[in-house]
């Protein structure tokens, strides 16, 4: 048995120098190849402050607790850093993280996630946080389970696998507000380490570091260091008026956040005496008697700093507090305040110097401390133009996401806000989470529903390309909920069709077919033949994936007829090519070849190279079925060459499997082996688990033909490990069947029957009657060799 036509190539996270993990999730075996070096999740590991001071005791205690050389009663795999907002919890754990990385204690890397537990708008659920962490450690979206408990098991199993390979991981979980929010993110082994920060003393079974305010001497040292960093050694105001420096520290509540802000005020006015700032703070305190001491200190510092801002600066910080994402770009901030990018950058830099705004992980991105954001939200109520600012920001996101989606969907050459597909991808990479957050915010605001309806559709192609299927499904479900009954039936139909596509990628085939058929029903109702043709074509793709080839043929044929009536030559070509693939699976390859050829001709005329390449590969599979092996080889070589010229290397890898299959059928086993090894190299570099599983199955067949049975057996077993997360793919059945056939050749009938029965179970689920019949015939033949088998 050979694997069939590999029509659905894809690219997941780049994975190199990995290890293999075998675990069980919801009764499924999942094997993943994972990277040794991890990228931080979500917002990324924060940068360190150059004026960190006064935390030596806690710093050393955390290091001792993570040092594998420490006594067991000193070590802990979970640490909690608890303390007031603004007391420096994030700074402490960031300093510790950089130090342990320098020491090489965590070869697996560091994961960082900010849960925004004290921010109602940005607060992350455990489910969402786990998706981000799993993505950061290289798990393809289609392998991330849907339910929380399965995600937890997968996440912890991966961490344990790293630990077994002496590649411990440090997990930093910032701003947790409750045990329920953080518990799922903690490692369950005794090797990996988690550090959690919270304003509460959470009962998570960890070693607790209660972070108090700084002592007076450390507070003055922070002021001294911050001023010297900003103004140089010549600025000696702190030491020249040491009494007022201590009083300033006291009025700041000895909180690092307030101290940094006051140091920034002094740095901004090099001739201002410390005593002047002390007087201003005292006056601010007198207005805030109703607050607790620490709240008063932070609020007084905010008031003082805010009072020194120009009107435009107040507007920037106030309006940025409306931004739904974790950070904001300079360009988006410029649109918020309705100024040029250059003017916005100057305003943002000024706010960062005042320590009211933080730099993001890359230049040109900015974020607010959650306490500053709450303060800014309060102050912005005093400013005019709030609603207009939000609309400008959301218009910006919609306008740019529309342009980026058009660039990704075009063949190039059109006028666009983005100069290239690469630029559009880069913008989506930076703004994706903000766009998703915008959708969720818009869902709850009647005046913003249009953004929640449109933005998901602009995101869909990008999320497909990046294989972010869970995000795709989530935002599209939000969009559909808004659109149902809202009167915009075309957008509703688009949402249904898009959900059908993402469910197909997540191997939820029955849901996929259901969504597509509902979209088709809407299109028929409104009488729009254009979208009806597109939806029918997508319905056929879902039916084909579910191995309902007759249903697929009917859908594609109707789509082709509509495209022809509409004189849409490219739509007709795609539907014809899909019809041809269905005809091939129905045992009508002669008819299929004619349709493939017509589609190729139309794509060549329109210079749509990617579609031409994909159709050539499909035709190669049909020619193979007809026994026209040399022609099949030529078609597959041409297809893979064209895909490489387009830099679609991941898709080319799947075409190389088809080429290997054609070469094997033609008798060129060495060429077939070279082709499949090249495909495997591609899948390894892209982390394409599904492609790797299919390629290993193909190589096993080649080794079996070469009578290298041990190598064949190893490849079939590894193929099954790779494919085991895709329990409704027929490729898994082929791998079991090929392994059973190999055992039969080696006169091991019991093992042969065992694997063939597993193949039958897969073929039965996939409703592949022909493959099921072949496997059952083999079992019947082998049963004579084991007469007492039950």
Residues 654-712: tens digit of each pLDDT: 999 999 999 999 999 999 999 999 999 998 887 778 889 999 999 999 999 999 999 99
Rounded to whole angstroms, the Cα distance separating 249 from 275 reads: 12
When pLDDT is cut at 50, 70 and 90, the band that residue 74 belongs to is: low
When pLDDT is cut at 50, 70 and 90, the band that residue 539 belongs to is: very high
Is the model's pLDDT at 370 over the cut of 90?
Answer: no
Q: For the CA atoms of the chain, what is the radius of gyration?
A: 30
Rounded average pLDDT over 570-598: 96
Q: How distant is the alpha carbon of residue 775 from its chain centre?
A: 39
- pTM exceeds 0.85, yes or no: no
723-748 pLDDT tens trace:
876 656 788 889 999 999 999 999 89
Is the model's pLDDT at 305 over the cut of 80?
Answer: yes
When pLDDT is cut at 50, 70 and 90, the band that residue 618 belongs to is: very high
Q: Give the range among 50-59, 204-213, 465-474 with minimum mean pLDDT.
A: 465-474
Rounded to whole angstroms, the Cα distance separating 65 from 78 reads: 9
Rounded average pLDDT over 426-451: 89
Q: What is the pLDDT of residue 787?
A: 56
Q: What is the pLDDT of residue 154?
A: 87
Higher pLDDT, 487 or 412: 487
Residues 6+ apart with CB under 8 A from 40: 110, 111, 112, 136, 361
Count of helix runs (H) and strand runs (E) in the chain: 34, 10
Higher pLDDT, 626 or 32: 626
Choose from 305-314, 560-569, 683-692 the range with maximum mean pLDDT: 560-569
Burial of 254 (0-12, 13-18, 19+ CB in 10 A): buried
Rounded average pLDDT over 428-454: 89
CB burial string 332-350: b at 16+ within 10 A, e below = bbbbbbebeeeebbebbeb
Is the model's pLDDT at 767 over the cut of 80?
Answer: no
463-485 pLDDT tens trace:
988 878 888 999 999 889 888 87
Rounded to the nearest integer, the mean pLDDT of the chain is 86
Provide the percentage of residues in the chain whose pLDDT is more than 90: 52
Q: If phi over 0 gives left and psi between -120 and 50 gives alpha, with beta otherwise, what is residue 605?
A: alpha
Higher pLDDT, 142 or 647: 647
Q: Give the orientation angle of helix 449-465 with respect to helix 469-483, to 10 degrees.
A: 150
Rounded to whole angstroms, the Cα distance separating 173 from 178 reads: 12
| Inter-residue contact 208 to 82 (CB < 8 Å) | yes
| Inter-residue contact 659 to 652 (CB < 8 Å) | no
Is the model's pLDDT at 2 over the cut of 70?
Answer: no
Is the model's pLDDT at 42 over the cut of 60?
Answer: no
Q: What is the pLDDT of residue 22?
A: 31
Rounded average pLDDT over 603-611: 93
What's 448's DSSP letter?
G
Q: Give the range among 280-294, 347-361, 769-783 with minimum mean pLDDT.
A: 280-294
Higher pLDDT, 556 or 449: 556
């Amino acid at each position: 048995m050979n694997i069939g036509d590999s029509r659905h190539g894809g690219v997941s996270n780049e994975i190199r120098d990995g290890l293999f993990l075998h675990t069980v999730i919801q009764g499924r075996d999942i094997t993943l190849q994972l990277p040794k070096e991890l990228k931080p999740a979500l917002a990324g590991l924060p940068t360190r402050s150059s004026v960190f001071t006064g935390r030596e005791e806690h710093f050393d205690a955390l290091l001792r607790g993570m040092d594998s050389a420490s006594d067991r009663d000193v070590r802990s795999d979970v640490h909690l850093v608890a303390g007031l907002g603004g007391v420096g919890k994030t700074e402490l754990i960031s300093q510790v993280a950089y130090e342990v990385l320098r020491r090489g204690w965590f070869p697996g890397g560091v994961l960082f996630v900010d849960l925004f537990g004290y921010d109602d708008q940005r607060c992350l659920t455990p489910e969402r946080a786990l998706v981000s962490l799993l993505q950061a450690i290289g798990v393809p979206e289609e392998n991330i389970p849907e339910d929380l408990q399965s995600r937890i098991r997968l996440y912890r199993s991966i961490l344990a696998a790293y630990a077994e390979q002496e590649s411990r991981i440090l997990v930093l979980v910032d701003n947790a507000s409750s045990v329920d929010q953080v518990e799922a993110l903690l490692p369950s082994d005794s090797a990996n380490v988690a550090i959690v920060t919270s304003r509460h003393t959470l009962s998570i079974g960890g070693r607790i570091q209660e972070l108090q305010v700084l002592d007076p001497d450390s507070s003055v040292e922070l002021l001294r260091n911050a001023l010297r960093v900003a103004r140089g050694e010549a600025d000696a105001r702190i030491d020249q008026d040491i009494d007022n420096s201590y009083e300033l520290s006291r009025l700041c509540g000895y909180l690092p956040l307030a101290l940094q802000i006051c140091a920034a005020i002094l740095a901004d006015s090099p001739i201002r005496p410390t005593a002047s700032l002390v007087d201003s703070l005292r006056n601010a305190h007198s207005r805030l008697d109703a607050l607790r001491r620490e709240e008063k200190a932070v609020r007084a510092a905010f008031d003082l700093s805010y009072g020194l801002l120009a009107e435009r600066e107040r507007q920037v910080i106030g309006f940025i507090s409306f931004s739904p994402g974790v950070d904001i770009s300079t360009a988006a901030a410029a649109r918020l305040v309705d100024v040029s990018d250059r003017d916005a950058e100057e305003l943002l830099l000024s706010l960062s110097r005042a320590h009211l705004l933080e730099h993001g992980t890359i230049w040109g991105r900015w974020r607010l401390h959650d306490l500053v954001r709450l303060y800014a939200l309060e102050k912005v109520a005093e400013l005019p133009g709030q609603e207009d600012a939000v609309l400008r920001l959301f218009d910006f996101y919609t306008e740019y996401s529309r342009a980026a989606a058009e660039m990704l969907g075009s063949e190039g050459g059109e006028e666009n806000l983005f100069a290239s597909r690469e630029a559009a991808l880069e913008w989506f990479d930076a703004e994706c989470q903000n766009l998703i957050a915008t959708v969720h915010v818009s869902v709850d605001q009647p005046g913003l529903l249009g953004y929640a309806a449109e933005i998901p559709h602009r995101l869909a192609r990008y999320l497909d390309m990046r294989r972010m299927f869970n995000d795709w499904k989530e935002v599209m479900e939000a969009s559909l909920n808004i659109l149902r009954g809202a009167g915009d039936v075309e957008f509703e139909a688009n949402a249904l069709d898009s959900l059908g596509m993402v469910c197909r990628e997540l191997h939820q085939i029955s849901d996929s077919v259901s969504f597509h058929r509902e979209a088709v029903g809407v299109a028929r109702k409104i009488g729009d033949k254009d979208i009806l043709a597109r939806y029918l074509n997508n319905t056929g793709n879902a039916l084909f994936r579910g191995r309902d080839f007759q249903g697929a043929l009917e859908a594609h044929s109707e789509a082709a007829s509509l495209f022809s009536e509409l004189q849409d030559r490219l739509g007709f070509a795609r539907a014809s090519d899909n019809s041809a693939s269905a005809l091939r699976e129905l045992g009508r390859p002669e008819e299929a070849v004619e349709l493939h050829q017509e589609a190729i001709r139309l794509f060549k005329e329109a210079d749509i190279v990617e579609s031409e390449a994909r159709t050539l590969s499909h035709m190669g599979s049909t020619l193979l079925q007809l026994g026209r092996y040399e022609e099949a080889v030529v078609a597959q070589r041409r297809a893979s060459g064209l895909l490489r010229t387009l830099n679609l290397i991941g898709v080319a890898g799947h075409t190389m499997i088809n080429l290997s299959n054609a070469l094997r059928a033609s008798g060129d086993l060495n060429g077939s082996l070279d082709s499949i090894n090249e495909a495997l190299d591609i899948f390894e570099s892209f982390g394409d688990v599904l492609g790797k599983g299919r390629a290993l199955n193909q190589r096993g067949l080649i080794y079996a033909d070469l009578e290298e049975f041990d190598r064949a057996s190893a490849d079939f077993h590894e193929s099954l490990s790779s494919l085991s997360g895709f329990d409704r793919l027929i490729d898994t059945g082929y791998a079991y069947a090929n392994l059973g056939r190999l055992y039969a050749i080696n006169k091991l009938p019991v093992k042969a029957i065992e694997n063939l029965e597993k193949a039958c179970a897969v073929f039965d689920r996939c409703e592949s009657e022909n493959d099921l019949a072949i496997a059952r015939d083999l079992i019947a033949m082998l049963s004579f060799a084991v007469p007492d088998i039950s």
